[in-house]
């Protein structure tokens, strides 16, 4: 198994985007999962032992957001009524027969007053028959409870390998279905958009000193014609402090079948790879091994209290900052009120796991890589189940919002908060609208840093187009993105096709 693939697996499970949360959304990303490599250094650099972490029960954890319909008025009391969530109740009690009768008429994706779906409860309580029945009826997997954890994250904590595998497969199936649902709308939007050439520059930074020295920069060129897009880049992706460089081209052909729409060219080796969304049985099993041996990680960038103030310039006479960015005059703003909240759980890890993850982190911070660690995931067995649940349904559902009794394995959780400071330059002269940019970025979302850009510009921004902005890419890494050139143009159709002398290499880019 390649180092790139391992890094991809550790990266590809970040929290999904909900109202007010930006960080870590992606079509095939779980709602929470391992961050042992990327963020473990910040939280676990001192000791790396479970005993060094605070243990939180649910009623001590910070709430990032309340569940839909939550509150403290009379309505909240009604929501905590034990009979208000019949599907949750029969899952809680392990009543498979009653669940089978209710599942066709009741909403199985509904959240209770603590933000849990029936699938959350089935996983946390180890009620496997209920969980498999819910999955068979396509219960949503990419959903977070009030504490920011997905059913997959809770399954990793519980430690049942079969359940983790089932959830992972269903998550990827639902992600593929979501992409296909969006495809007709996306193609229509691209067709209506004029043909253009766009150039932008990425410059990555970190407040971690060792990391700053090895982060990449990249100049990207985007050609759009009809429903075809070509992205030329020197950085296909990076994660875990390592980046994959080269002379690369990403081609989206809207006329092709979905399985053949996305192609990556390696222009140096003259090979290409189609981006596939299906994974082999072996790849899935290896991914489960990595999930079971890594921290469960959740990070959200809250935008609820975000404000924009005009940046100032001058020493004696202060005035609003307006400068040219590329060819476009832009007004500069300071972005205030962004707070990055990250949490890391490791109750499912052994002391050996924690020490190994710490060693990997230290090696990476010194410029090493996973292959040098000779790290191959060992086939993980299911953990011993946690102590049987002694909480009754009435005690659980009637508990005050934010103080739900803990279900499952005792938490070992570390939390951190960091205020994120950013600058954004908005231009009224840029010819492209934000909505059009979002459609283009959605096509190239397999490149995770472009997906972060797409999420960020969906915020309610000041007037104009964001020609230069700072965005969080990972909890310790930010990127300054600059749109340097734009022009409407026409191109030779050959640039959107695979050259005749290129050969197919299905494993050239393991991260994709």
Strand partners, 481: 202, 469
Secondary structure of 346-404 as H, E, C letters: CCCCCHHHHHHHHHHHHHHHCCCCHHHHCCCCCCCCCCCCCCCCCCCHHHHHHCCCCCC
H helix runs in 39-85, sequence order: 40-44, 74-79
CA distance 220 to 199: 6
Q: Is the pTM of this model over 0.85?
A: no
Q: What share of the chain is helix, strand, coil (3-state, %, to 5)?
A: 35, 25, 40
Say which range, 40-44, 221-225, 281-285, has the weakest mean pLDDT.
Answer: 40-44
Say what the pLDDT of residue 42 is. 31
| β-bridge pairing 262-266 and 271-274 | antiparallel
Gap between the Cα atoms of 181 and 133, Å rounded: 24
**CB distance 308 to 334 below 8 Å:** yes
- Each residue of 116-172: pLDDT tens digit? 999 999 999 999 999 999 999 999 999 999 888 999 999 999 999 999 999 999 998
Residue 240: Cβ within 10 Å count = 21
- pLDDT at 13 exceeding the cut of 60: no
pLDDT at 216: 64
Name the band, by pLDDT with cuts 50, 70 and 90, for residue 215: low
Q: Name the band, by pLDDT with cuts 50, 70 and 90, for residue 298.
A: confident
Cα distance between residue 85 and residue 91, in whole Å: 10
Nearest 5°: the CA angle 32, 33, 35 is 120
Question: Which tens digits make up the pLDDT trace of 61-77?
Answer: 333 333 333 333 333 33
Q: 161-192 and 434-443 are packed helices; what angle lies between their axes, rounded to 10 degrees?
A: 130
Asked if 147 and 58 touch (Cβ cutoff 8 Å), the reply is: yes
Burial call 346-355: b when 16+ CB within 10 Å, e when fewer:
bbbbeeebbe
The partner residues of 338 in beta bridges, in order of sequence, read: 420
Indicate the pairing of strand 296-302 with strand 322-325: unpaired
More reliable by pLDDT, 374 or 97: 97
Q: What are the tens digits of pLDDT across the range 443-494?
A: 876 666 777 788 888 888 999 999 999 887 766 778 899 998 999 999 999 9
DSSP letters along 278-290, please? ---HHHHHHHHHH
Contact 409, 157 (CB under 8 A): yes
Res 80 pLDDT > 50 = no
The whole-number pLDDT of residue 178 equals 86
pLDDT exceeding 70 applies to what percent of the chain? 74
Torsion sign across C-alpha atoms 276, 282, 288, 294: negative
* Cα-based distances in Å from 123 to 105, 373, 390: 22, 33, 16
Longest dimension (CA), the chain: 76
The Cα 119–Cα 153 span in angstroms is 12
- Of 82-86, 112-116, 166-170, 176-180, the range with the lowest mean pLDDT is 82-86
Q: How many CB atoms lie within 10 A of CB 134?
A: 27
Higher pLDDT: 215 or 238? It is 215
Bridge partners, 322 (sequence order): 331
Centroid of chain to Cα 431: 30
505 class by beta-carbon count within 10 Å (0-12 exposed, 13-18 middle, 19+ buried): middle
Which residues of 196-346 form beta strands (DSSP E)? 196-206, 217-225, 228-239, 242-253, 262-266, 271-274, 296-302, 307-310, 312-313, 319-320, 322-325, 328-345
How far apart are the C-alpha atoms of 214 and 60, rounded to whole Å? 38
Place of tokens 């399954």: 155
Predicted confidence band at 512 (pLDDT cuts at 50, 70, 90)?
Answer: low
- CA 263, distance to chain mean position in Å, is 22
The tokens of 78 are what?
A: 């009604």
Backbone phi, psi, residue 210, to 5°:
-60, -30
What whole-number distance in Å separates Cα of residue 333 and Cα of residue 452? 20
So what's the pLDDT on residue 245?
A: 63
Measure CA of the first residue to CA of the last residue in the chain; give whole Å: 14
For the chain, list the domains and their CATH numbers: 31-178+347-414 (1.25.40.20)
pLDDT band of residue 104 (cuts 50, 70, 90) is: confident
Contact criterion met (CB below 8 Å) for 339 and 418: yes
Neighbours of 507 (CB within 10 A): 8
Q: How far apart are CA 197 and CA 334, in angstroms?
A: 29
Q: What is the pLDDT of residue 208?
A: 61
């Amino acid at each position: 198994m390649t180092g790139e693939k391992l890094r991809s697996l550790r990266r590809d499970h970040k929290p999904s985007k909900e109202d007010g949360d930006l960080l870590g959304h992606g079509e095939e990303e779980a709602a929470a999962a391992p961050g042992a490599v990327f963020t473990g250094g910040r939280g676990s650099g001192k000791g790396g032992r479970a005993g060094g972490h605070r243990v939180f029960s649910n009623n001590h954890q910070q709430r990032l957001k309340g569940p839909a319909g939550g509150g403290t008025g009379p309505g909240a009391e009604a929501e905590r009524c034990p009979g208000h969530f019949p599907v949750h109740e029969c899952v809680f009690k392990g009543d498979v027969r009653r669940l089978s009768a209710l599942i066709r008429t009741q909403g199985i994706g509904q959240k209770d007053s603590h933000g849990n779906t029936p699938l959350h409860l089935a996983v946390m309580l180890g009620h496997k028959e209920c969980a498999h029945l819910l999955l068979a009826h396509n219960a949503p997997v990419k959903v977070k409870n009030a504490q920011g954890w997905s059913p997959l994250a809770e399954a990793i904590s519980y430690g049942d390998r079969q359940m983790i595998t089932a959830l992972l497969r269903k998550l990827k199936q639902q992600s593929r279905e979501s992409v296909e649902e969006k495809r007709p709308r996306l193609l229509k939007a691209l067709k209506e958009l004029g043909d253009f050439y766009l150039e932008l520059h990425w410059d990555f930074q970190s407040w971690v000193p060792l990391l700053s020295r090895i982060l990449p920069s990249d100049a990207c060129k985007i050609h759009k014609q009809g429903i075809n897009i070509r992205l030329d880049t020197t950085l296909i992706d990076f994660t875990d402090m390592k980046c994959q460089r080269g002379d690369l081209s990403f081609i989206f052909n809207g006329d092709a079948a979905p399985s053949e729409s996305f192609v990556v060219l390696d222009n140096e080796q003259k090979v290409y790879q189609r981006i596939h969304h299906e994974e082999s049985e072996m790849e899935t099993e290896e991914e489960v091994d990595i999930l079971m041996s890594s921290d469960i990680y959740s990070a959200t960038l809250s935008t609820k209290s975000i404000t924009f103030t005009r940046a100032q310039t001058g020493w004696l006479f202060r005035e609003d900052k307006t400068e040219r960015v590329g060819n476009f005059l832009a007004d500069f703003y300071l972005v205030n009120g962004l707070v990055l909240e990250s949490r890391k759980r490791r109750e499912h890890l052994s002391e050996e796991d924690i020490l190994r993850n710490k060693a990997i982190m230290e090696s990476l911070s010194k410029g090493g890589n996973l292959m040098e660690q000779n790290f191959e995931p060992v086939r993980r067995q299911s953990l011993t189940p946690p102590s049987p649940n002694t909480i009754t349904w009435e005690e659980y559902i009637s508990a005050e919002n934010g103080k739900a009794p803990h279900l499952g394995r005792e938490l070992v959780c570390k939390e951190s908060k960091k205020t994120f400071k950013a600058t954004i330059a908005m231009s009224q002269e840029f010819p492209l609208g934000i909505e059009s940019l979002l459609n283009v970025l959605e096509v190239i979302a397999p490149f995770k840093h472009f997906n972060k850009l797409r999420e960020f510009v969906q915020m309610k921004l000041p007037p104009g187009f964001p020609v230069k902005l700072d965005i969080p890419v990972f909890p310790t890494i930010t990127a300054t993105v600059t749109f340097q050139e734009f022009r409407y143009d026409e191109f030779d159709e050959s640039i959107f096709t695979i050259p005749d002398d290129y050969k197919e290499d299905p494993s050239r880019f393991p991260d994709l």
